[in-house]
Chains A and B, each alone.
Chain A
Amino acid sequence: MEVVIVLIVLVVIAVVVIGIYNGLVGRRNRVDEALSQIQVQLKRRHDLIPNLVEAVKGYMQFEQKVLTDVTNARAAAVSAGAQGSVPQQAQAENALTGALRSLFAVVENYPDLKANQNVLALQEQVTTTENQISFSRQHYNASVLDYNNGIQTFPNNVFAGMFGFTKRDFFEAEPEAAEVPKVDLSLT
């Protein structure tokens, strides 16, 4: 009789532990997925910029600096994404955001350009892309929170280390991001 009870207890423990393990695997995978989603959004932004520059180039012959700034910032962001570390990539992307804002600030001075349907559509595209980058970072943080809670609360914390689950870091904005981005309205 005691053997049966011991067996039942062992089975229950095994089921619970399996449940904990599977739950942690699921949460960790969600974190990884969220991370790669951020990359997807960043690439989307990179792909958008050549179209944008093409659309405004004809109207803005006197604004070469702003246009070349955006093109260069984009190139820097693409290469930082391919070869740089995560902080380097974040820095390059922030620089690109600043360059885009400068570009749209200058567009405000051109009434024809402001009313142009193509430019309006592209402006919406850029707005939504910036939002989507931001929301995918937010979602990443939410999934990291869920995962960290998962491995640190009881009883999961007892097994987490054993199974090799370690704490993940939140997406931190670079210190530069706390500064107000410089918007370059010069005509040179």
Chain B
Amino acid sequence: MIRTTFYEQESANRRESVLLVLIVLVVLALFGFAIGYGTSGYPEAGIAVTIGALVLGGLVSVGSYFAGDQLVLSSSGAKEVDPQSAPQLIDVVQEMAIAAGVPMPKVYVIDDSAPNAFATGRDPNHASVAITSGLLQKLDREELQGVLGHELSHVRNLDIRFGLLVAVLVGSIALLADVFLRFSWFGGGRSRDRNAGGAAAIVFVLAIILAILAPIFARLVQLAVSRQREYLADSSSVELTRNPHGLARALAKIAGDQEVLEAANRATAHLYFTNPIKKFEARSSSMFSTHPPIVDRINRLRQLTGDPPLAEADVRALTGLD
């Protein structure tokens, strides 16, 4: 579908994110209910199990909510900068913060020649933006504005919080599946309750099937949500800069770069501007990627300026694939 204004792209992205979260919620509810009813024969047990799983998942994530950003920043070796040490960077972040209507975040630089950036923090008042020295060197002011517009949009759209919400749901499903399969394996298969009958037994089997499939399915949905939010951040960046060219050029420059970002690993990969684990980028049209393919991101931006999608030759030149 061609969407020629950033407003349309943003609305579509938000709708799709919400839909995906609802799907996970429904899966969690069905699964919890199936476990509760299947093992005990009481529907009330199903509701109790679902709520219990959500509470546990939430508790596990509380630490991440409050301290997560510090952890990510220190694990990546980021150093805070100020107007004396990085005047142009601070200026560009300030410009984007004004355009986005959010307070000025803390700004960090990671000493690595691989070009990348990320944003973290639970809300705009506690936000941080980090960028590699490689990115700072390779981009001009307009491109830097595009990238930082993208990162500040993650902050403004509360994507870090949204991602955490999804992680809680997915984690709860995984937890439920784990606990349930363990107990069933060790003899929970026999229903010890008078109330359990034929219906409950069928639901029990359903619960076993869900226990195997639901965690994988939920993880796939989580990755789809991550990709949606990346597209949303791209559109929001254009809303801030009113200039798709800067961001499109920045993406093209980064696509061509084959360097691996040393500080990133699988756990933090989803936070970055482009997927820092290079072997995923090449086949990232798969469902297993946290980021959409760079070529798709560039093509969506080209829709906004009325340009045709990139030609085959350009795509090959960009990604170095043949």
| A interface residues, Cβ below 8 angstroms from B | 30, 34, 37, 41, 121, 124, 127-128, 131-132, 135-136, 138-139, 142-143
Contact = CB atoms under 8 A, between A and B. Distances in A.
Given A124-B88, A138-B242, A132 B94 contact: yes
B80 interface: no
B94 A34 contact: no
B91 A135 contact: no
Interface string B297-319: 00000000000000000000000
Contacts of A136: 98
Interface of B: 87-88, 91-92, 94-96, 98-101, 141, 240, 242
B14 to A, nearest CB: 15
Given A121-B87, A138-B242, A128 B98 contact: no
14 contacts: A121-B87, A124-B91, A128-B88, A128-B91, A128-B94, A128-B95, A135-B98, A135-B240, A138-B99, A139-B98, A139-B99, A139-B100, A139-B101, A142-B101
Q: Which 4 A-B pairs have the closest CB atoms?
A: A128-B91, A135-B99, A135-B98, A131-B95
Contacts of B94: 128, 132
A37 B95 contact: no
Given A127-B141, A138-B99, 19 more contacts: A34-B101, A124-B87, A124-B88, A127-B91, A128-B88, A128-B91, A128-B94, A128-B95, A132-B94, A132-B95, A132-B98, A135-B95, A135-B96, A135-B99, A138-B242, A139-B98, A139-B99, A139-B100, A142-B101
Contact of B101 (A30, A121, A124, A131): A30
Contacts of A135: 95-96, 98-99, 240
A93 B240 CA distance: 23
Contacts of A37: 98
A132 B141 CA distance: 14
Contacts of B88: 124, 128
A127 B87 CA distance: 12
A127 B95 CA distance: 11
A43 B26 CA distance: 54
A37 B97 CA distance: 12
Q: Which of A121, A128, A136 has the most CB of B within 10 A?
A: A128
Contacts of B96: 135
Nearest to B99: A135
Contacts of B141: 127
A131 B92 CA distance: 9
